[in-house]
Amino acid sequence: MSDAGTSGDVRQNGRNDEVGEEVRLRLFRSQFLIRKAEQRAYDLFLQNLVKGTSHLSIGQEAVAAGFAVAMRPGDLSFCTYRGHAHTLARGVPVEKVLGELMQRDNGLMRGKGGSMHLTSVEHGVMGSYAIVGAHLPIACGAAWRAQYRGEGDVSVCFFGDGTTNIGAFHEALNLAAVWKLPVVFVCENNLYMEYTPIRTVTAVPQPAADRARAYGLDRIVIDGNDADDVYLTARNAIARARAGDGPALIECLTYRHSGHSRADPAKYRPPGELEDWLKRDPIPLYRARLLGFDISEATLATIEAEVMREVEEATEACKAAPMPPADILATDVYADGGWAWRN
């Protein structure tokens, strides 16, 4: 457990030594890949190659990377409509995500789901949910299945600060605590629910953490822009859940650099707020930390070049990919693959 704002001189922060170089490089790669893939998604919008809306996590990458690196294959992620980052962090290829956003046949769901419905059971990505709060009880259900069958996987459920004022948040937290379910609830507090500052509509300062005690859980607030802090907190909570010690609720303080969705110019932000948070951009901070740990510039540059190549190749593959054929419209809609309504 830690308070926000711990990303000072890492050499004085003993916790960071627990991370180790191999994990730290994975955390760096993951954050960089999410950033570049989402920036490319935005470029593709501007070229009118992405249809519909989408919600970027630019600025929030450390949360997705920190949790995904702490998870095992077989653990499950549940995301909101702001789900590209978590999907990529679990290892879904960039081409699959961009292809889905571009409604191409090579997309994750062959172009039928789009930005807000990314799902890959194979990677443990159990869906992106556009109804605020809807996925928290579903994550409880998945965790109950793991507990009932003794399967040992942990469900990790990501949501925003605004979600903490939805009834399903409280119902899910209570049920998870009463049944000691192996589920970790992760609030990405980016200060806003759409265009409304969360502090103006919430009775307590920390919208998730300050409710934890009501469900018998620890109050955990961390710097969501510090990938090491996120990773270590995630690792601990996931281990406890896997050991049968029940759920956790973790509030990660972070900030989205762009608007709520692609149509939002984010004019409601007070002057200087974005600039302040850009100084705490998780990726340059983490890069500087790695150099401080004597990881070489060449090592980081190689990772960046590999990621850029992946994003370029994915972009070209998606631009060249066909639209899905019309005959897949009715598949994957009902469990049996058919389309007729059955009583």
Ligand X SMILES: Cc1ncc(C[n+]2csc(CCOP(=O)(O)OP(=O)(O)O)c2C)c(N)n1
Residues 24-83 that bind ligand X (CB under 6 A): 80, 82
Closest CB to ligand X among residues 274, 308: 274
What are the φ and ψ backbone dihedral angles of 259, each rounded to 5 degrees?
-70, 175
Least distance to ligand X from the beta carbon of 162, Å? 3
Contact residues for Mg ion, defined by CB under 5 A: 160-161, 190, 192-193
Our finding on whether 193 is near ligand X (CB under 6 A) is yes
Q: Which residue, among 189, 177, 187, 188, has the nearest Cα to 143 in the 3D structure?
A: 177
Our finding on whether 172 is near ligand X (CB under 6 A) is no
Q: Which residue, among 25, 23, 24, has the nearest Cα to 299 in the 3D structure?
A: 25
Our finding on whether 161 is near ligand X (CB under 6 A) is yes
Least distance to ligand X from the beta carbon of 131, Å? 5
Is the CB of residue 204 less than 8 Å from the CB of residue 187? Answer: no
Residue 60 binding partner per list Mg ion, ligand X, none, with a CB distance cut-off of 5 to 8 Å that depends on partner kind = none
Q: How many CA atoms lie less than 13 Å away from 101 in the CB half-sphere?
A: 34
- β-pair partners for 329: none
Closest CB to ligand X among residues 59, 93: 59
d(CA 63, CA 132): 19
Of the ranges 45-53, 111-119, 159-167, 288-296, which one interacts with ligand X (CB under 6 A)? 159-167
Helix boundaries (H) for 166-261: 167-178, 209-212, 227-242
CB atoms within 10 A of CB 221: 23
Q: What is 100-142 written as a DSSP string?
A: HHTT-TTSTTTTSS-GGG--BGGGTEEEEE-STTTHHHHHHHH
Of the ranges 100-108, 157-165, 239-247, 314-322, which one interacts with ligand X (CB under 6 A)? 157-165
Please enumerate, as own/partner, the contacts of 191-197 that have beta carbons within 8 Å and a separation of 24 or more. 191/161, 191/255, 192/161, 192/162, 192/256, 192/260, 192/268, 193/160, 193/161, 193/162, 193/163, 193/165, 194/162, 194/260, 194/264, 195/260, 195/264, 195/268, 196/162, 197/268
Report residue 43 as tokens. Answer: 């470029």
Closest CB to ligand X among residues 170, 242: 170
Among 67, 78, 192, 215, binds ligand X (CB under 6 A): 192
Q: Which residue is nearest to ligand X (CB)?
A: 160
Closest CB to ligand X among residues 33, 132: 132
Among 59, 93, 111, 160, binds ligand X (CB under 6 A): 160
Our finding on whether 130 is near ligand X (CB under 6 A) is yes
Of the ranges 155-163, 216-224, 273-281, 315-323, which one interacts with ligand X (CB under 6 A)? 155-163
Residue 194 binding partner per list Mg ion, ligand X, none, with a CB distance cut-off of 5 to 8 Å that depends on partner kind = ligand X
Is the CB of residue 222 less than 8 Å from the CB of residue 231? Answer: no
Our finding on whether 115 is near ligand X (CB under 6 A) is no
Our finding on whether 84 is near ligand X (CB under 6 A) is no
Closest CB to ligand X among residues 28, 169: 169
**Dihedral sign computed on CA atoms, order 284, 289, 290, 291:** positive
Closest CB to ligand X among residues 116, 241: 116
Closest CB to ligand X among residues 93, 160: 160
Which residues here bind ligand X, judged by CB under 6 A?
Answer: 80, 82, 130-132, 159-163, 190, 192-194, 260
